[in-house]
Each structure stands twice: as C-alpha cells, then as structure tokens.
Amino acid sequence: MAVNHVILGTGAIGRAVAQELVRRREPVPMVPRPGQMDEAPTEVKVIASDLYDPANVGEVSRGAKVVYQSAQPAYSQWPEKFPLLQKAILEDCRGAAQSWFSWKTCICTAMRRANR
C-alpha cells in the first residue's frame, strides 16, 4: 500500500491530522518523540526515528506526497533544540514531498473542519 502522507509529531495537532486521514482510509505513518506515543490507534503506524538527522527525515518521508510537520521538542528545550529540529526537517524534505503543511496550516484546517 502506497503511503501518501507522513506526520512528523504525535501531539494534539499530529493526532488530529491522523484522525482525519484514518477517516479517509489513508495509511497513517507517524513519527513521535521518543516515548511520546505509547497508545497508537491500530490504523496508525508509529515509526521510531531521530528527526534531528536529515537522513532519517528523508527515510521516513520517502515517497510521501504530503508531509505534515507538527514535530517539536519539549518546550523547555526549545532554545537549543527547536532550530536544529526544523533545520534537519527542512534540509531533507525541501524537495522530497510535493506538499508541506506546517502546524499552523494544520490548526487552520482543523478549525475550519470543526466549524462546519
């Protein structure tokens, strides 16, 4: 089964996107922070990967038409880790996926859907 979507991050936004993709019967691979997704729905494939390494980002997103970027370090680690995470993700996925959706796009999409 081809994977058209990859979700980087498994927080509230990533899970909302996953829920919508499951509703559409799409395969749903998600990449969490270590230890952040112990209970995944059966329709979700959890992929362990270090997103601080661009090569790993490329591996988990290979072939995807859309990458949903909702990954982030713990808030207490933002000053040192957030720029590194974003750089690694953008470095490898820049030309890999046909479409990119950041967490802001996902929030707006979820809000529009909820207000229907």
Q: Using an 8 Å Cβ cutoff, are 91 and 83 in contact?
A: no
State residue 92's pLDDT score.
Answer: 74
What pTM does this model have?
0.79
State residue 11's pLDDT score.
Answer: 87
| More confident position, 31 or 114 | 31
Tokens coding 98: 């046909």
State residue 29's pLDDT score.
Answer: 93
CATH of residue 90's domain is 3.40.50.720
Q: Model confidence over 52-109: pLDDT tens digits?
A: 998 898 898 888 888 888 999 988 998 999 999 988 888 876 655 455 555 545 444 4
Task: Tell me: pLDDT of 17 over 50.
Answer: yes
Burial class of residue 79, CB neighbours in 10 A (0-12, 13-18, 19+)? exposed
Average pLDDT across the chain, whole number: 79
| More confident position, 111 or 26 | 26
Q: How many domains does the chain have?
A: 1
Tokens coding 38: 């112990």
> Is the torsion defined by CA of 24, 54, 89, 16 positive or negative?
positive
Domain enclosing residue 50, as ranges: 5-114
Q: Tell me the pairing of strands 44-46 and 66-69.
A: unpaired
